[in-house]
Copies of this chain bind each other. A is one copy, B any other.
Amino acid sequence: MTHPTPTLADLGHQTHSAAQHLARLSADDRNQALEAMAQALEAAAGAIVAANQADCAAAAIEGIAPALAARLTLGESKLRSAIAGVRDVARLADPLGTVQLARELDDGLVLKRLTCPLGVLGVIFEARPDAVIQIAALAVKSGNGAILKGGKEAVRSCQAIMDALRKGLSQSAVPPAALQLLTTREETRGLLQLDRYVDLIIPRGSNEFVQFVQNNTRIPVLGHADGICHLYVDRGADLPKAIAIAVDAKTHYPAACNAIETLLIHSAIAPSHLPPLAAALQDKGVVLKGDDRSRQILPSLTAATPEDWATEYSDLVLSVAVVDSLAEALAHIDRYGSGHTDAIVTEDEATAAQFLAQVDSAGVYHNCSTRFADGFRYGFGAEVGISTHKLPPRGPVGLEGLVTYKYQVVGQGHIAATYSGDRPKPFTHRDLPQDC
């Protein structure tokens, strides 16, 4: 006799109920659950590594690309560091129950705004099994349930990890049903329709994938669509700084979304500064594509086409354009940028201030590399993702991106009619200390 497969809606409902229970637990209970998860992962390390070896072997037969294979592989040392990450998350400050506002509305009538969990997260990610561990830890810390779906090549690894995580939770106050794993593509599409039970979708992967998710769900999506970052070398730039920053921003990790794709350079210094900049970049293996004016200075550059300005290469390729003014640089960034992170190199403080004020991106940088756009580097302790949405959360998102808030009003029988009509009583609207 077989049990019927529970439908995805049932699974959504179960996760929602478990998340409601989780949301009520204390920070100590949630941190103890994280420790139980870490211990269960340690106990299951052999099984997890074996499952991963099976995934890797199957992927090798399929002829997986080396970069994907590297992400898929979860050896003992990578697993150990992922488990250490769970304990790091346990040590982060509790994101729940923070009083963001406390105000007396009238005598005996008090308003508070308190942070609380979102509910259930739906996270769809690439074939990177350690991501299951990281996401599960962030979810439990923030009091949220999570429904996870990893890349199909990692299915055995993800299952072994999830088994361990839920075994750990069974030794804690957190219901194991707060964490769920999906394994098929059909379930992914179904997850996007679970707006009754899922409060936030976090897609990780290619731009195309993120856009597919955004176009196919009514659930809010946390994710960036593009990372087309610019470095503008102003006429007031210090050349050694410009070279160091350009090389770092392009070559430190070219596949990252915070790597630059376009270098803009002021025409007044392009003849003197572009050749050494180009040489330093080419020395690191960067292929440069130039507009007409940069090719007048460096005729060996490939011609950039209009598409280049809107392309995220994610590779050792950089497009270069010469501009006549800050205004022209700003117009280029406004037209082609993706609102991720853009930087200026200049010693001219007034020009820098204008750039920082006028570029409308999540990150606006002066005399430093765009590569700092990262939750860990910002000191958030954890990174949930980087959002290029205009609305908050914007830019690198830490645990605060997994919580919301609610307004609590406590009275003593107060009614609204008292404060309206012919002789309305005035509100006091007196801010209170936030630890009241």
The chain A residues found within 8 Å of chain B, CB to CB, are: 20, 23-24, 103, 105, 109, 111, 116, 118-119, 199-200, 214-215, 218, 220, 238, 240-241, 244-245, 247-249, 252, 334, 352, 356-358, 360-369, 371-373, 377-379, 389-392, 394-396, 404-417, 419-420, 427, 429
Distance of A219 from chain B, by nearest CB (Å): 10
| Chain B residues closer than 8 Å to A367, beta-carbon distance | 410-414
Distance of A28 from chain B, by nearest CB (Å): 16
5 closest residue pairs by CB, A with B: A368-B411, A371-B416, A248-B415, A379-B429, A241-B413
| Chain B residues closer than 8 Å to A103, beta-carbon distance | 378-379
Contact of A220 among B245, B334, B372, B391 (CB under 8 A): B391
| Chain B residues closer than 8 Å to A371, beta-carbon distance | 415-416
Distance of A52 from chain B, by nearest CB (Å): 25
Closest B residue to A412 using CB positions: B367
Separation of A214 and B395 alpha carbons in the complex (Å):
24
Whether the Cβ atoms of B390 and A395 lie closer than 8 Å is no
Separation of A119 and B411 alpha carbons in the complex (Å):
38
Whether the Cβ atoms of B369 and A414 lie closer than 8 Å is yes
Distance of A3 from chain B, by nearest CB (Å): 26
Separation of A430 and B108 alpha carbons in the complex (Å):
39
Closest B residue to A376 using CB positions: B427
Closest B residue to A247 using CB positions: B415
Whether the Cβ atoms of B408 and A372 lie closer than 8 Å is no
A-B contacts besides A363-B407, A363-B409, A378-B407, 19 pairs, CB < 8 Å? A24-B357, A103-B379, A119-B390, A199-B391, A240-B413, A252-B417, A360-B406, A362-B406, A364-B406, A366-B410, A367-B410, A367-B413, A368-B409, A368-B411, A369-B414, A369-B415, A377-B416, A379-B427, A395-B407
| Chain B residues closer than 8 Å to A247, beta-carbon distance | 415
The SS class assigned to the A binding surface is mixed
| Chain B residues closer than 8 Å to A396, beta-carbon distance | 407
Separation of A109 and B371 alpha carbons in the complex (Å):
13
Whether the Cβ atoms of A411 and B365 lie closer than 8 Å is yes
11 A-B pairs, CB-CB below 8 angstroms? A105-B378, A244-B413, A356-B410, A363-B408, A364-B406, A364-B408, A365-B408, A367-B414, A368-B413, A372-B409, A394-B406
Q: How many copies does the complex hold?
A: 2
Whether the Cβ atoms of B200 and A363 lie closer than 8 Å is no
| Chain B residues closer than 8 Å to A23, beta-carbon distance | 358, 360
| Chain B residues closer than 8 Å to A199, beta-carbon distance | 390-391
Whether the Cβ atoms of A361 and B408 lie closer than 8 Å is no
Whether the Cβ atoms of B392 and A356 lie closer than 8 Å is no
| Chain B residues closer than 8 Å to A357, beta-carbon distance | 24
Whether the Cβ atoms of B368 and A407 lie closer than 8 Å is no
The verdict on A407 contacting B218 (CB below 8 Å), with A109-B368, A416-B248 known, is: no
Separation of A366 and B414 alpha carbons in the complex (Å):
10
Whether the Cβ atoms of B413 and A405 lie closer than 8 Å is no
Separation of A373 and B406 alpha carbons in the complex (Å):
11
Separation of A241 and B108 alpha carbons in the complex (Å):
14
Whether the Cβ atoms of B391 and A200 lie closer than 8 Å is yes
Give the residue among A364, A410, A413 with the most B Cβ atoms within 10 A. A413
Whether the Cβ atoms of B252 and A415 lie closer than 8 Å is yes
| Chain B residues closer than 8 Å to A352, beta-carbon distance | 410
| Chain B residues closer than 8 Å to A429, beta-carbon distance | 379
| Chain B residues closer than 8 Å to A218, beta-carbon distance | 214-215
Separation of A111 and B372 alpha carbons in the complex (Å):
10
| Chain B residues closer than 8 Å to A360, beta-carbon distance | 20, 23, 116, 119, 406
The verdict on A369 contacting B240 (CB below 8 Å), with A119-B360, A407-B378 known, is: no
| Chain B residues closer than 8 Å to A214, beta-carbon distance | 218
